[in-house]
Amino acid sequence: MKKVNKSLRQAQTDNNNQTEKQQKLKMKLLEGKTALITGASKGIGRKIAEKFAEQGANVAFTYLSSVEKGEALEQELQSFGTKVKGYRSDASKFAEAEQLINDVVAEFGTIDIVVNNAGITKDGLLMRMSEENWDDVININLKSVFNVTKAASKVMMKARKGVFINMSSVVGVTGNAGQANYAASKAGIIGFTKSVAKELGSRNIRANVVAPGFIRTEMTEVLDPAVVAGWEKDIPLKRAGETEDIANVCVFLASDMSAYVTGQTLSVCGGML
């Protein structure tokens, strides 16, 4: 009888272990986490917001000029069943960035993940580039990362955990003729992120960079197909990237799957680098 009871107990234990494993498999990678994504009304930012919500994250996001797209995204993401809120905010302005973080914490309770994605291009050869075009790109692409990271890091330091994912570009690594301002801003993001990773690592706060290559977005749709085909020919994987390719990498970096990854630049470029 004792042997039978022991066998029954063992079977019950095995069943419980199996159920626990199945529950873990069903859990989404970002379940219960709160993420802030800047510049999420379109393109790469929009897909990141979508993937994060799909993986169980509560999502706060910002938009600026694309008000209708921002409001539409808020409604769309709510279908995933997590908490979602869009904020019209200019991250390149220090005071607005601080207010944004305060508003998100007041609404969501905390911030676990920040994706600094807001960015613009104002291309032109150096000799023709205006001071205004230089300043606009540096402020929106680089200063915004400083503003949001500084404000959000205070929240994360108190919680002794957090993740920053900063969007750079392969151009920030290689440079590109006609994009001195853009390349400088994206290279600055890499150096900034590596420094933040070293400063905040002891508080269990990670910071990494994603450097996309040629990715299909609304901006690339207006390009001459022949030009696009020429660029794709020079990419080892022989295709342009999709916004989903970037978003999937961001999910990995935001999740506990990358718990020992910090201070790194991950190029998602089909082998261009």
Residues 6+ positions from 206 with CB-CB distance below 8 Å = 162, 163, 164, 197, 253, 258, 259, 261, 262
Catalytic residue among 63, 87, 182, 260: 182
Name beta bridge partners: 87.
62
Task: Give the amino acid at 208.
Answer: N
pLDDT for position 66: 82
CB 173 within 8 A of CB 213: no
CB 269 within 8 A of CB 238: no
The pair phi, psi for residue 250, each rounded to 5°, is: -65, -35
Q: Where are the domains of the chain?
A: 30-215+242-268
> CA separation (Å) from 97 to 65, 219, 239?
16, 26, 36
- The superfamily (CATH) of domain 30-215+242-268 is NAD(P)-binding Rossmann-like Domain (3.40.50.720)
- Is 260 labeled as catalytic in the residue annotation? no
CB 43 within 8 A of CB 67: no
DSSP symbols for 224-247? -HHHHHHHHHTSTTSS-EEHHHHH
Using CA atoms, how far apart are residues 196 and 170, in angstroms rounded to an integer? 20
pLDDT for position 231: 87
pLDDT for position 218: 83
The pair phi, psi for residue 270, each rounded to 5°, is: 65, 15
Q: What is the DSSP letter of 269?
A: S
- Provide the residue-wise pLDDT of the chain in tens; the chain has 273 residues: 555 566 666 667 666 666 655 555 568 999 999 999 999 999 999 999 999 999 999 999 999 988 899 999 999 999 999 999 999 999 999 999 999 999 999 999 999 999 999 999 999 999 999 999 999 999 999 999 999 999 999 999 999 999 999 999 999 999 999 999 999 999 999 999 999 999 999 999 999 999 999 999 987 888 788 888 988 999 999 999 999 999 999 999 999 999 999 999 999 999 998
Count the residues in the chain.
273
CB 29 within 8 A of CB 56: yes
Report the greatest alpha carbon distance in the chain: 91
